[in-house]
Amino acid sequence: MRYSQMLLPTLKENPSEAEVVSHRLLLRAGYIRKLTSGVYSYLPLGLATLRRVERIVREEMNRAGAQEVLLPVVQPADLWIESGRWVKYGPELLRFTDRHNRESCLGPTHEEVITDLVRMNVHSYRDLPLNLYQIQTKFRDEIRPRFGLMRGREFIMKDGYSFDEQEEGANLTYQKMYDAYHRIFSRCGLAFRAVEADTGTIGGSFSHEFMVLADTGEDTLAICRSGQAPTDGQTCGYAANMEKAAGRPPQMLASRPELLPLTKVETPGKRKVAAVTEFLGISAQELVKTMIFLADGKPVAVLLRGDHEAQDVKLKNLLGAVDVVLADDQQIFDATGVPSGYLGPVGLKIPVVADREIEVMTNFVIGGGEKNYHCRNANLERDFSVGKIGDIRQVTAEDHCPSCGGELEFTKGIEVGHIFKLGTSYSEALKATYLDSSGKEQFFVMGCYGIGVSRVVAAAIEQNHDQDGIIFPLPLAPFQVVILNLSPDDQGITGAAEELYSTLKNRGVDVLLDDRDERPGVKFKDADLIGIPFRVTVGKGFLRDATVEIRERRSGVVQTLHPEEALSWLLAQCEMMSVS
C-alpha cells in the first residue's frame, strides 16, 4: 500500500475526548474515528489490525474443532422472553419495534439464538459434541461507554458456544477452549494471564478470564508469585481476579485464649476504625466492624475484621442477592436505630453475616450499639450469632496463596476473554434437548466462550506503546514493514525504495511505502505513531554507499544494510511470525 493513496489521517495533537492511551493513539494514528458515543468507524489501518486478530482467533478456534457460523444481529423478543432475559437483561439490551409492531432487540450476546438453532437442528447424541462460534458486531447499550475501543457500545466479539453430553464432555470442551485461548493470546504476542473468575449471575461451576497485563488495566488480579510452592518447588500458577481471589482460610489458634467478660467502654466521638483503635490502644486486627449493606433493598449487617474490606461480588454470592450496595447513614439508622460508627452485632434485628476471619478471633472490640460506646471482649456465639459465614472480603498483600501458601502479588489487567461453563441453564430455559444412547431425552450441557476482538486491539496498545506512539507486536501490526522514501524526487532513492517495496509485497509481506512529498521528520513521526514494527529508510545513505537503514520500532535498534541484505533480514523476521 502506498501512503499517498491511503486514508490515514494522523493527528499531531491529542484529541480532547481521549483520556486513555489506547484511545488517544488509535485516534491520533488514524485507526478509528468516533461516530457517536461508544460507536466507532474503523479506518483502513484499524480494520487491518482487527483482521489480524480475527484471523488468529479463527485459526485457533478451527484448530480446536469449533465451526464458524454467523448469527443475526436483530433478534425477536420472543426468544428472550422464553429464556427469561427479556425482563432480566435491563436497559443494556437495546429494544425496538419493527413496522409490524413486533418487539425486537439488537443482540448483545447470542445464547438464545444459538440454543434455538441447535434445538431445532440437533437431536441426537451422535451429533455431539458441537462447538460453534462467530465473529460479529455486538451492541450493548452500556450505561457509560468509555475509553474508545475498550468499552464501546458497539464492539466486535468472537463468541462461541458448545453443546455436550453430560458434564465430562463439557469439561473436556472447556479445557480445549482454555487451551485454544492460550494459543490465541500467545500468538497475538501479548503478555496475558488466565485467572479464575466469578461466574456471576449466569451461574455454572467455573469460569476463567483472560487478562492482558497492563498498568492501565481496570481490573486487579491476585497472582501467586511463581516458584514459591513449599514442597515440590513447582510454579503454583494460582491467579484470580479480585472478585474471586481468596487467601488461605484462617487457622484456629491451637490454644484459644480465655474468653473475657464483655464490657462496654465509652468512646466519645470515635467512629472510624482508626480512631477507635487508637483511642483504645488496640490494632485493627482486634476489632470487628459492622457494616450495613442493602441487599436487593433489604438491610443486612456485615461483619469484617477492622483492617479488611468487603468484596461486593463475594458478598452478593453469599447472600444470593442480585445487587448489594453500602447503606448511607440515614439508611443505617433506619435499619438499626444506631448511628453509624457505633454499630455492633449484639441485639441487631436484621440478618447478620460475617467474614470467615471472624471465626478465629477472640475478645475483640465491636460497636456498642449506642452512640459514643464500643464493647471490648466480644466473642462470636457467646455474645451474638450470625446467619451466614463465608469469605466476603478483599484479599490483601498479607494473604497467602490458597493453593500453595506462597505470597500473592497484585497486577492490573484488561479482560479480553472470558470462558464459562454454562451447564444446562439455557438448554433448560429453551427446552433444548437431545436423545442419549438409551433414547432418553437430555438437556445439552453448554459452555460459552467470548473474546473481545476489538478490545484486544485496544489492550495490545495499552500494553505496547511509548511517547512516540503505538508499538504493535508483529502479529497484530497492520503492516509489518514501512518503507520511507525520503527523497521522492531522487531517481536512485525512489528506484531502490520501489524495488524493495514490490519485492516484499510479492513475497507476501504487508508493507507500506511512504511515498508522500513530505519532509523526513514528518515521515519518521508518522511511522513511529502508527506503530509498524520495522521501518526501512531509503535516503542519503543510499546515495553515499548504496545502503538502507532498518530500525526496529520497539528497541530502536538500527542496522545499516545493502538492500538485498535488508530484504532477506526482513523476510526472515516475517517468516518467523507466520510459522508460529
Partner RNA sequence: CGGGGCGUAGCGCAGCCUGGUUAGCGCGCCUGCCUUGGGAGCAGGAGGUCGGAGGUUCGAAUCCUCUCGCCCCGACCA
Residues in contact with RNA by the rule CB under 7 A: 10-20, 23, 28, 34, 36-38, 92, 140, 142-147, 150-152, 155, 157, 200-201, 209, 218-219, 312-313, 323, 415-418, 450-452, 454-455, 468, 486-487, 489, 519-522, 524-526, 528-529, 537-542, 549, 551
- Minimal distance in Å, beta carbon 215 to RNA? 14
Instruction: Tell which residue, 330, 462, 302, has the closest CA to residue 387.
Output: 302
- Minimal distance in Å, beta carbon 516 to RNA? 9
- Minimal distance in Å, beta carbon 503 to RNA? 19
Q: Name the residue nearer to RNA (CB basis): 313 or 571.
A: 313
The H or E element spanning position 82 is helix 77-83
- Minimal distance in Å, beta carbon 222 to RNA? 16
- Minimal distance in Å, beta carbon 105 to RNA? 15
What gap in Å lies between CA 38 and CA 141, rounded to an integer?
Answer: 9
Q: Name residue 321's amino acid.
A: A
Q: Name the residue nearer to RNA (CB basis): 229 or 459.
A: 459
What gap in Å lies between CA 451 and CA 458, rounded to an integer?
Answer: 13
Q: Name the residue nearer to RNA (CB basis): 336 or 537.
A: 537
What gap in Å lies between CA 546 and CA 80, rounded to an integer?
Answer: 67
Q: Name the residue nearer to RNA (CB basis): 217 or 406.
A: 217
Cell matching residue 476: 497484530
- Minimal distance in Å, beta carbon 29 to RNA? 9
Q: Name the residue nearer to RNA (CB basis): 224 or 470.
A: 470
- Minimal distance in Å, beta carbon 443 to RNA? 22
Residue 201 DSSP symbol: G
Q: Name the residue nearer to RNA (CB basis): 322 or 435.
A: 322
Are 410 and 211 spatial neighbours (Cβ–Cβ below 8 Å)?
A: no
Q: Name the residue nearer to RNA (CB basis): 22 or 480.
A: 22
Alpha-carbon Rg for the chain, nearest whole angstrom, is: 29
Q: Name the residue nearer to RNA (CB basis): 20 or 229.
A: 20
Phi, psi of 460 (to 5 degrees): -60, -35
Q: Name the residue nearer to RNA (CB basis): 139 or 238.
A: 139
Q: Name the residue nearer to RNA (CB basis): 270 or 308.
A: 308
- Minimal distance in Å, beta carbon 94 to RNA? 13
- Starting at the edge strand that comes first in sequence, how are the strands of the sheet with 481-485 ordered? 511-514, 481-485, 534-538, 548-552, 558-561
Task: 24-31: list long-range contacts, CB under 8 Å, 24+ apart.
Answer: 25/461, 25/465, 25/469, 25/470, 25/529, 25/531, 26/148, 26/149, 26/457, 26/458, 26/461, 27/148, 28/469, 28/529, 29/469, 29/470, 29/529, 29/530, 29/531, 30/530, 31/457, 31/478, 31/530
Q: Name the residue nearer to RNA (CB basis): 282 or 321.
A: 321
- Minimal distance in Å, beta carbon 527 to RNA? 7
- Minimal distance in Å, beta carbon 163 to RNA? 19
What gap in Å lies between CA 456 and CA 26, rounded to an integer?
Answer: 13
The β-bridge partners of 104 are 76, 96
What gap in Å lies between CA 386 and CA 302, rounded to an integer?
Answer: 9
Task: For helices 563-579 and 491-506, give the axis angle rounded to 10 degrees.
Answer: 20
- Minimal distance in Å, beta carbon 232 to RNA? 33
The SS3 call for residue 255 is coil
CA dihedral 496, 497, 499, 504 (to 10 degrees): 140
What gap in Å lies between CA 500 and CA 494, rounded to an integer?
Answer: 10
